[in-house]
Amino acid sequence: MFFKSQSLGLEIGREGMKFSLVSRRKEEFLLDAFAVAPLPPEMVRISHKEPMVLLPPLFITQVRAAWHKLQTKSSRVSVSLPDACGRVMLVELETRFRSHEEGAGIIRWKLKKHSSLEMQETHLDYQIIREKDSGEQTALVSLIAKPVITQMEDLLTEAGLEPYAIDFTSFNLYRLFARRIEPTETCVLLSCFGGSLGIMIFYDGVLELYRSKEMPGGEFDGARLFQEISSTLLVYREKNPLRELGSCFCIAPESLWGELREIVAEATAADPLLLEPHRFVQASPGIALNSSAAFILSASLGAAVRGF
C-alpha cells in the first residue's frame, strides 16, 4: 500500500492561526488540507520578552479544533511565529570554532553587552552563512526568550501536537519561495505580510541585510512603506557603494500590489517581481484554493515545506 508523506505547518499571529498540510510529489508541493481560525484580540500578545498566549485554555481548545478539521493523523508540526517575538541579527565572528555548542557560547558572550535580552533566559540558534579563508565567519543568529518558546511548545503539546521546529515568519516566507529566489544570487526580497514589512538583501547568495518592521496598526500605508524601504536601502548602499541590488522580489496581497510595485520601482530602480504562493504549491484534488487564500497561508505553507 502507498502511504503519502505529509508535512504539517502552523502559523500563529495576531490575525489568528493557519494550518497547512502539504505533501510532495517529485518536485511539486501539494496542499492536501488547510484550516484558518481567528483568535480573539485579547488572546495574543506579541512581545520578545513575555509569553505570547494570554488565554492558554482557550488557545489549546482552538488549536485542537483547527487541527482536527484537517482530518489527518499527522501531529508533528513546524511552527511560524511573528518576527517581533524575537530578534534576528548578523554577527561577525573572528575565528572558527570546533562545535555548534562552542559557537553558541562565543555568540552569547559577544552579544551579552549589546542586547536588552537576558542571555541566560534566551534561546539562541544560529547558522554560519559566510566563511572566509582567514577564518572569519558571519552567523545568522535568531534569539527568542525562553518563556515565549517554552510556553508555545507546552501549549501545542497539550493540544496533541508535536512541535519540532519553531521559526520566524520572514524565514518561512523565504522557504516557500526559495526555489525561485536562490538561483538569483543577488537580490532584494520584500514582504508585506501579517502587519509587518520584511526586507532581506542577498549578495552572491549570502544574506547581507535583514530587517523586520511592524507597521502601525498592522496597516501598509503607502507613504510609510516608501519611507521604510528607501531608508533601509540607503543604509545598505552607504555601506556597500559599489554593489548592485539585482532583482527585487515581493510578497504582498493582491490589494497592495499595484501601489507597492510603484513604491519599489522608485526605491530600487528595478521592476519588482511578485511571488504568488498558489504558483508554488498546488491544491490537491477537491481543495478549493484561490490566490487570496493561498497568500493568507503563505507562512504556514513555508513552515510545512520545511518538513521535506
pLDDT at position 112 is 82
pLDDT, mean of residues 32-47 = 93
Q: 251 - beta bridge partners?
A: 191
Cell triple for 37? 481560525
Residue with the three cell numbers 552572491? 204
All structural domains of the chain, each given as residue ranges with its CATH number in brackets, are 6-83+146-173 (3.30.420.40), 85-145 (3.30.1490), 179-277 (3.30.420.40)
Query: 191-246, pLDDT tens digit by residue?
Result: 999 999 999 999 999 999 999 999 999 999 999 999 999 999 999 999 999 888 99
Query: 271-292, pLDDT tens digit by residue?
Result: 999 999 999 999 999 998 999 9
pLDDT at position 187 is 96
Q: 120: Cβ–Cβ under 8 A, 6 or more apart, which residues? A: none
Other CB atoms within 10 A of residue 261 CB: 17
Query: 234-265, pLDDT tens digit by residue?
Result: 999 999 998 889 999 999 999 999 999 999 99
pLDDT beyond 70 at 168: yes
Between the alpha carbon of residue 158 and those of residues 51, 56, 58, 63, 286, the distances in Å are 16, 10, 12, 10, 31
pLDDT at position 2 is 46
pLDDT beyond 60 at 170: yes
Q: Work out the percent of the chain whose per-residue pLDDT is above 90.
A: 83
pLDDT at position 252 is 97
pLDDT at position 4 is 62
Helix H, strand E, coil C: the string for the chain is CCCCCEEEEEEEECCEEEEEEEEEECCEEEEEEEEEECCCCCCECCCCCCCCECCHHHHHHHHHHHHHHCCCCCCEEEEEECHHHEEEEEEEECCCCCCHHHHHHHHHHHHCCCCCCCHHHEEEEEEEEEECCCCCEEEEEEEEEHHHHHHHHHHHHHCCCEEEEEEEHHHHHHHHHHHHHCCCCCEEEEEEECCEEEEEEEECCEEEEEEEEECHHHCCCHHHHHHHHHHHHHHHHHHCCCCCCCEEEEECCHHHHHHHHHHHHHHHCCCCEECCHHHCEEECCCCCCCHHHHHHCHHHHHHHHCCC
Rg (alpha carbons) of the chain, rounded to whole number: 20
Q: What is the band of 45 on the pLDDT scale with cuts at 50, 70, 90?
A: very high
Q: 41: Cβ–Cβ under 8 A, 6 or more apart, which residues? A: 14
Q: CA–CA separation, 187 vs 202, rounded Å?
A: 5
Nearest CA to 244 out of 187, 183, 184, 180 is that of: 187
Query: 124-145, pLDDT tens digit by residue?
Result: 999 999 998 888 999 999 999 9
Q: What type of residue sits at position 267?
A: A
